[in-house]
Amino acid sequence: MRGGVEVRDRLKAELTARGLSKTIRANNAGCLDQCEYGITLVVYPEQVWYGHVTVADIPEIIEKHLIGGEVVTRLLLPDQPHLGDRRTFPVLEVT
């Protein structure tokens, strides 16, 4: 399986073209070519994992999720909880 670098590069190019590259970062880390779920894209801080992502999926992920705030359910990895089911972590107040 190959193509993860191409997907990452296309995501970076699309974010730049839309003027979003200063507010949304496409990180170089992750399962670009060797993940059991195919090419994987993770959106933080929500920790939404999209699997088997192709270059053709990039516009939908940007429009629907990164801009619109709605999860692209057809690309979610199996057994992934929905955003409303996310664990919350206690807040530590530092004084």
Q: Please report, in tens digits, the pLDDT of each residue of the chain (95 residues total).
A: 467 888 888 999 999 999 998 888 877 655 655 666 677 788 877 788 888 888 999 999 999 999 999 999 999 887 765 545 445 556 667 77
What is the reported pLDDT for 28?
A: 62
Q: Do the domain assignments include residue 70? A: yes
| Three-state helix/strand/coil letters over 58-92 | HHHHHHHHHHCCCCCHHHECCCCCCHHHCCCCCCC
Other C-beta atoms lying within 10 Å of the C-beta of residue 42: 15
What is the reported pLDDT for 33?
A: 57
What is the reported pLDDT for 2?
A: 60
Q: Do the domain assignments include residue 95? A: no
Structural domain including 65 reads 4-80
CB neighbour list of residue 94: distance below 8 Å, 6 or more residues apart:
none
Q: Which two tokens stand for residue 35?
A: 């993940």
What's the distance, CA 42 to chain centroid? 3
Q: Do the domain assignments include residue 93? A: no
The CATH number linked to 39 is 3.40.30.10
90 contacts 77 by C-beta, under 8 angstroms: no
Q: Do the domain assignments include residue 90? A: no
Number of structural domains the chain divides into: 1
